[in-house]
Amino acid sequence: QIQLVESGGRAVQAGDSLTLSCTTSSRTFGSYAMGWFRQAPGKEREFVAIISRSSGSDTIYRESVKGRFTISRDNAKNVVYLQMSNLKPEDTAVYYCARTRRTLPTTEPGLYDVWGQGTQVTVSS
């Protein structure tokens, strides 16, 4: 069974930077689009950033993180990253990475079939 494991979450101050990593043992990692999602207490899970399969040439960002977050992938290492800068208290959430079988990147959580366990990011003001 394919597993995704997130890491890198921690408590930081507003304005700080943080990089999350998501690793997998899947040998076909490069064949799938990947996404980062987050869920704050009492709120629904929402997409943060999506990257296309293979070269990762296509990316999609949530409007509120554009210019602050960068998603990237290293298929040789089976890792997808989320670089976050200028963090704000409203970025506080559990962050999840996920895989979709969809050919084209999608922001819809229901179209992702494999999820990690999540990593907590807490941003204090």
What is the per-residue pLDDT for 105?
86
pLDDT at 104 over 90: no
Q: pLDDT tens digits for 34-76?
A: 999 999 999 999 999 999 999 999 999 999 999 999 999 999 9
* DSSP-derived secondary structure for 26-92: -TTGGGSEEEEEEE-TTS--EEEEEE-STT---EEE-GGGTTTEEEEEETTTTEEEEEE-S--GGG-
Identify the band that residue 2 occupies on the pLDDT scale cut at 50, 70 and 90. Answer: confident
